[in-house]
Structure 1
């Protein structure tokens, strides 16, 4: 039996990811009538917290877990350390005396509590003193109404989270309304719709991407590009010397560093560093998501009934958020890169085998299990392979980030 789970980033005002809401479904078809909220919560906890003792899916950050009425009354969260996750009280919970007693006990024992999809009503007023985070679905509750509630209750340590923030305009409106945290895919869209010129770091990124898209990497060209950017040069040398174990003399030249890495590791180095180098005002989670998609697509190629190479799949996933990273229309950016027509068609129209693969990656990110099921069938994949590829890609992206950070990249 496999646990179908996706995660949605939760960001603070600085667009830094502080946690993930964990979304559970019983299988990719999401159509099993016998599963209830309690069973979904229990299986999520068992698969991701109970057996391993920690939740690897969140990369060390806090997980937000939905708890229905019965699970709270039965004090299920007390089975886990208080720092394991943030308890989300589902909107379907009845605000009765029994629930209030459970909430007070959890609060007193140090658990962090959030009201999910909150709709202000007198019945919930007595709960608020024991709550740490209130989540508003801005699709259901207008931001203006949220702002009024926030102004009246912005006391103590109570924080507010805006859900389903889909674009930069909504992010700014929620920011101005007083929200502390934000959830949604606003960071997956270009923040500026008008045409902008690429920044110097953005141009460097494109030039490096042009090189790793070639069948064979030209070390001289890569050296020339990196040498023009002091910050990138420093990161390369720090990264390579951090990998050394037995070498007596440190590597001090770019060419020496590039050759030492080898073609495959060089592609991965550029993959990670180049775009993150251009991320000055972007959330790190945006780039982490592109890394995760790249690895997810690459891992599925050997399992799927499609005739594409792993590197094509990797580039398709990696470049799926390029417009968001560089604030340029995707079509214009792709014209600058020597990509195959298959990759371009996949990125722009989600057509062809690579397009289906990308559609699967995007759907899994959003826990859209109906689309996941259709894509899984179209690619003739086993459900278990898709689940494993997603979990491994999350771990890979997290580990890669930690490795690069450790080496001061």
Structure 2
């Protein structure tokens, strides 16, 4: 049996991840359909802490979790680590005296208090006095109302979080209004994480990933892995028969197909297949982002004059979401893969050539144009070339056969 939790990142003004909101999900469908808020929050707590593991979900960042009136009064939150949790008080919670007292105790224990989907009414003032963060729905709350509320809290130790930020323009507007934190589809949709061990087909694909990550690719081993899997054989023949290559000769063996592709193209094909298969129970968006990012990083390396390292840059982009695909810490996964030291370092946050390429790709995806200018300059890439390279990445993804 699988259990599910969706997580959505919350960013600070530098677009660094500050926390994750954990959301109840019944399955891979990325929406919430439960009517019982108590049950939903209880499931999030059980799934996050005792089945999936909070470190897997948040990587050490704080977890925002919705709490109903019943759960607040029953002090369920006191079972959880205060330094890792932000208590989101739902907009449906009536601020009665016992609720205010429960929140006071929770705050004294070290939990952050967040007022969710907040719309000001005088009766909420006791909760505002306890709040660390006020969360405002950016889509339904008028700008004048937002300004009035922010001004009302000026001088108090309260930060504001803009929720449902969906465009670069809305992000810039929220920045100008004085918000500290931001959440919404402009940054990332909720990503669903399930609790399960790697099944056998994922184990095979992980071995394939280990093989293609090696700087000393063994075509004999690659051939043996593929020839034992009908699906992999089919996908290889389908790929080599695509318009991208235009091969007219009949393919008589897997080795012939790999030889016609060449080592670099064979590695890219195998990497695409591995990504797709590892993500078979994940949102398709993860595959799209991984593949496009891989191609974009490769093109950025070429553009920066490092064409000989293009395949490394490709793997860098492709592996950037591998922790989300496997539900395991990135450092643990990389310890099992023979990637080059500079690719590993970049994925783990160390500075260097590949870190600049990686950060430029992320900045462009997120529309962080200030960072784009900085990283493009460091790599000596003309900014006018970036839209061309990004469109190329999308076209290449569509030709890959993964849609």
Tell me the TM-score normalised to structure 2 length. Answer: 0.53
Matches within 5 A, 1:395-406: none
What is the deviation of 1:2?
2.5
**CA positional deviation for 1:61:** 0.8
- Structure 2 residue matching 1:127: 3-state secondary structure: helix
How far off is 1:268 after superposition? 10
Matched, 1:107 2:181: no
Q: Name structure 1 gaps, 5 residues minimum.
A: 190-210, 240-262, 288-325, 347-351, 356-409
Question: CA–CA distance in 1 between the matches of 2:61 and 2:28?
Answer: 26
RMSD: 4.3
Match in the other structure for 1:85? 85
How far apart in 2 are the matches of 1:177 and 1:214?
A: 48
Structure 1 residue 3 displacement after superposition: 2.1
Q: 1:134 to 1:38 in 2, by over 3 A?
A: same
Q: Provide closer, same or farther for how the CA distance between residues 13 and 284 of structure 1 changes in structure 2, counting only shifts above 3 A.
A: farther
Structure 2 unaligned regions, length at least 5 = 190-261, 269-297, 317-336, 348-352, 368-384
Structure 1 residues 70 and 150, CA, compared in 2 at 3 Å: closer, same or farther? same
The equivalent of 1:166 in structure 2 is: 166
Is 1:332 the counterpart of 2:388? The answer is: no
**Match in the other structure for 1:398:** none
Q: Distance in 1 between matches of 2:365 and 2:390?
A: 23
Task: Say if 1:100 and 1:172 are closer, same or farther in 2 by CA, change over 3 A.
Answer: same
TM-score (norm 1): 0.52
Q: Which structure carries more relative contact order (alpha carbon 8 Å, separation 6+)?
A: 1
Residues 111 and 267 of structure 1, relative CA distance in 2, 3 Å threshold: closer
> Alpha carbons of 1:331 and 1:278: their partners in 2 closer, same or farther (altered >3 Å)?
closer
Preserved contact between residue 114 and residue 135 of structure 1 (Cα < 8 Å): yes
> 1:344, CA displacement in angstroms?
1.1
SS of aligned partner of 1:162: strand
Q: Measured at CA, do residues 30 and 12 of structure 1 come closer, stay the same or move farther in structure 2, by a change above 3 Å?
A: closer
TM-superposed deviation, 1:58: 0.7
1:182 aligned partner: 182
1:5-404 equivalent positions in 2, closer than 5 A: 5-28=5-28, 36-50=36-50, 54-187=54-187, 214-215=265-266, 228=305, 265=339, 269=343, 274=354, 277=357, 279=359, 328=387, 332-334=391-393, 339=396, 343-344=397-398, 354-355=402-403
Change in Cα spacing, 1:283 to 1:97, as seen in structure 2 (3 Å) is farther
**How much has 1:282 moved relative to structure 2?**
5.1
- The 3 A distance-change label for structure 1 pair 15 and 97 is same
Q: Decide whether aligned partners of structure 1 residues 216 and 90 sit closer, same or farther in structure 2, where only a CA change above 3 A counts.
A: closer
Residues in 2 aligned to 1:327 and 1:154: alpha-carbon distance in whole angstroms: 41
SS of residue in 2 equivalent to 1:214: helix
Report SS of the residue matched to 1:22: strand
Note the alpha carbon deviations across 1:27-76, whole angstroms, 9 max, x for none.
Answer: 34589987611111111111212467744211111111111111011111
Alignment check: 8 A CA contact 2:88 2:116 kept: yes
Distance 1:45 1:228, change over 3 A: same
Cα distance change, pair 116–50 in 1 and its aligned pair in 2 (3 A): same
Number of aligned residue pairs: give it: 254
SS in structure 2 of the partner of residue 13 of structure 1: coil
Q: Is the 8 A contact 2:116 2:135 kept in 1?
A: yes
- Is the contact made by 2:66 and 2:87 (CA closer than 8 Å) also made in structure 1? yes
Instruction: Tell me if the contact between 1:5 and 1:23 (Cα under 8 Å) persists in the aligned partners.
Output: yes
Shift of 1:281: 9.5
**Offset of 1:265 from its aligned partner?**
2.9
Instruction: Please say if residues 114 and 134 of structure 1, whose CA atoms lie closer than 8 Å, have aligned partners that are also in contact.
Output: yes
* Partner Cα distance (1:227, 1:182) in 2: 32
Distance 1:143 1:184, change over 3 A: same
Looking at structure 2, the residues matched to 330 and 226 of structure 1 have their Cα atoms a distance apart, in angstroms, of 9
Q: Is the 8 A contact 1:9 1:285 kept in 2?
A: no
CA contact (8 A) 1:144 1:177 kept: no
